[in-house]
Amino acid sequence: MRPPILNPLFRPVSSLAGIGPKLAVTLRKLLGGPEPDGEPRAIDLLFHLPVAIIDRSRQPGIALSPEGAIVTLKVRIDRHQKPPRGNRRIPYRVFAHDDTGEIALTFFHANEPWLERMLPVGETRYVSGRMEWFNGRPSMVHPDHMVSEADFRDLPLIEPVYPMTAGLARKTLLKAVADALDGVPDLPEWLDPALLGEHPWPDFAAALRAAHHPEAAADMEPLSPHLSRLAYDELLASQLALALMRAHQRRRSGKARHGDGSLRHKILESLPFSLTGSQKDALAEIDADLRKPERMLRLLQGDVGSGKTVVALLAAAATIEAGAQAAIMAPTELLVRQHARTIAPLADAAGIGVAVLTGRERVAERSRVVAGLADGSIQLLVGTHALFQSGVEFDDLGLVVVDEQHRFGVHQRLALTAKGDATDVLVMTATPIPRTLVLTYYGDMDVSRLTEKPAGRRPIETRAIPLSRLDEVVGRIRAATAAGAKAYWVCPLVEESEVLDVAAAEERYAALDAALGGGVGLVHGRMNAAGRDAEMAKFVSGETKVLVATTVVEVGVDVSDATIMVIEHAERFGLAQLHQLRGRVGRSDRPSVCLLLYRAPLGDIATDRLRIMRESEDGFVIAEEDLRLRGGGEILGTRQSGTPGFRVARLEVHAALMEAARDDARRIVDNDPDLATPRGEALRLLLYLFGRDDAVRLLRAG
């Protein structure tokens, strides 16, 4: 049950001044709602903060007002000039003056009686709006405000600007915000007194009021005291929820798993290379987790080609040595089959029974796999989210490895571990993620990093080439493929439309197939899985030498003898995506090249991106730069499931606050795991305010 003190903040927006049921539907487009169809609440409106201000404090006089400036003028009304009867295209003008000159106040489709009441001849009025000059004559079209001298104090000299939506008037929004602010209760303080001693932050209610009533441009800065306070509150709610989930998972008893090293030794003997230093370090951390009687929750971050799959297999081997089963889960069938191909010969050498389970297995094969999992004869399963399905039961699932985890949210994490008793979880991501985002999305986990590439990998030469040299690039591809090379050609992102992306890819495929005389394949996201797999198989075997693709090849596709990557309209891609795509080549000891084709002229951010790509192959450096250039919301993709969107905090700005919130959350859970102290009770309110009530339910579940 939500504490009653919060009820004023959780009332529906339709109960606020000026908002009825119809406008509540409009506001849902702007604010979202607690469920896909739920009505937004007062708190949702209060976290919808202004993004800019209009400064009406400038009062320079008519003649001294610059073109385009927003000014407030004290004028005397001289005369009204009505348009000729029946000609609505000519505006209604009201002429007025001050000590410096005359101005025309201009109105289209005017309401004449209303204007005569608002601007009576001979009276003084304050008018505020944007100045325009035509042929040396000043004009103000549809002033934003027109008030008498007596009402001047009500004219907002500093006005907040909110993100808006069609069908919602600004004044209506301001009225509703004012009503919602009036309902903010006095809440107990949930921040650590020591932290408040370091930062001159207002309390929560005062911070909200200041955020909605900025008095100067400095009040809009994300590091201003009131916005820093709200950002820290949001980050603390997020980190506390993750810390409580971590504690809950750990409390559900784990199992100490001690392998004898026999299976792992056989796999290492079969590898054609030796492990890198960071692979050995990661395995040591995983082994230490497995030996503890607590559940492992570990994130394995590795750059493209750093050898995560081998680490996952060796972790699985240790679990199987201890008598349990392991499962490796990937987001697509393509990746599942690729993992299975990599793993099968090594598992065979160690005598580990492996099976594959996706949504496409025939009934007989699926029945065989399900039976083998239930009786324990299948020790290692590689599959898609089909692993979640009811009817798939393990004899003793000891370890789940989740590949490309940002497609699997926190809820899926919990569902997977429910498949076994005391299941350990290892998550792998090939997307190097900045430290602040690791804390955001994986704050419930310990982190291992693979920072080296396997021996024998060569650097990838990266060049930026204008699209005006397209024919030259095609000529080089023709010569290279004739000499036996394989190339990817990735087509541009077109707007936000997969259909248009596919059309662009099909067009490029037809042009290249004609120019190269055949030997070109095509894959895109609208093909069925079987068709995509068939095209990939042709590319792997060498039947096709050039693979034209949309970004479906961004993650996990492994064709080790491909040495050329062409990315068309590279300026449309984010840094992390460019880095992922480049990582499809350079997977052997052959020299590889990545060609970034761009349309000139480039903007500043695109220029920066292409420069960084040329200068660095370090995914972690690139990820930090991507955060700097784009902000946190886009790095992992705002639509990814299970990724908490922040309404106030900006990770590229508030990174230091994120670190402090993580440390504070862990201290809270260590010292007050049930949030039972007075500060703990206040923190429960914080979790509700920022939509982290799942964590409160975990507390009740014990």
pTM of the model: 0.69
What is the C-alpha separation between 85 and 612, in angstroms, rounded?
Answer: 64
Nearest to 651 by CA among 436, 428, 380, 404: 436
Contacts of 230 (CB under 8 A, 6+ apart): 204, 207, 208, 211, 648
Structural domains in the chain plus CATH codes: 4-53+162-220 (no CATH), 73-155 (2.40.50.140), 262-450 (3.40.50.300), 460-616 (3.40.50.300)
Average pLDDT, rounded, for the chain: 87
Higher pLDDT, 441 or 521: 521
Query: Which letter does DSSP use for residue 39 in this model?
Result: P
What pLDDT is attached to residue 273?
85
Residue 634 confidence (pLDDT) above 60: no
pLDDT tens-digit series, residues 408-423? 555 565 566 666 667 8
pLDDT tens-digit series, residues 290-334? 999 888 889 898 877 788 889 999 999 999 999 999 999 887 787
Calculate what percentage of the chain has a pLDDT beyond 90.
55
Residue 70 confidence (pLDDT) above 70: yes
What pLDDT is attached to residue 413?
59
What pLDDT is attached to residue 410?
57
Residue 60 confidence (pLDDT) above 50: yes
Contacts of 335 (CB under 8 A, 6+ apart): 403, 404, 555, 556
What is the arithmetic mean of pLDDT over 545-551?
90
What is the arithmetic mean of pLDDT over 25-44?
84
What is the C-alpha separation between 599 and 474, in angstroms, rounded?
Answer: 16
- State the burial class of residue 550 (Cβ atoms within 10 Å of its Cβ: 0-12, 13-18, 19+): buried
Grade residue 635 by pLDDT with cuts at 50, 70 and 90. very low
Calculate what percentage of the chain has a pLDDT beyond 70.
91
Name which of 30-34, 45-49, 198-202, 423-427 the model is least confident about: 30-34
Contacts of 443 (CB under 8 A, 6+ apart): 238, 239, 242, 243, 246, 662, 665
For the chain, give the number of residues.
702
CA distances from 565 to 366, 485, 509, 575, 581 (A): 38, 11, 15, 15, 8
Angle CA 8–12–16, to nearest 5: 75
Grade residue 628 by pLDDT with cuts at 50, 70 and 90. confident
What pLDDT is attached to residue 534?
87
What pLDDT is attached to residue 636?
42
Query: Which letter does DSSP use for residue 41 in this model?
Result: B
Residue 642 confidence (pLDDT) above 50: no
What is the C-alpha separation between 455 and 357, in angstroms, rounded?
Answer: 32
What pLDDT is attached to residue 536?
86
Grade residue 526 by pLDDT with cuts at 50, 70 and 90. confident
Amino acid at 311: V
Higher pLDDT, 532 or 409: 532
What pLDDT is attached to residue 445?
80
- For the chain, the straight-line distance linking the first and the last C-alpha, in angstroms and rounded, comes to 16
Query: Most confidently modeled of 333-342, 526-535, 552-561, 611-620?
Result: 611-620
What pLDDT is attached to residue 203?
97
What is the arithmetic mean of pLDDT over 228-232?
97
Grade residue 643 by pLDDT with cuts at 50, 70 and 90. very low
What is the arithmetic mean of pLDDT over 539-551?
91
What pLDDT is attached to residue 568?
93
Name which of 529-533, 548-552, 612-616, 631-635 the model is least confident about: 631-635
What is the arithmetic mean of pLDDT over 607-630?
85
Residue 436 confidence (pLDDT) above 80: no
Higher pLDDT, 64 or 622: 64
Grade residue 377 by pLDDT with cuts at 50, 70 and 90. very high
- Tokens (6 digits) for 691: 């939509």
pLDDT tens-digit series, residues 95-130? 999 999 999 999 998 899 999 999 999 999 999 999
Task: Answer positive or negative: Cα dihedral of 11, 14, 15, 18.
Answer: positive
What is the arithmetic mean of pLDDT over 481-509?
80
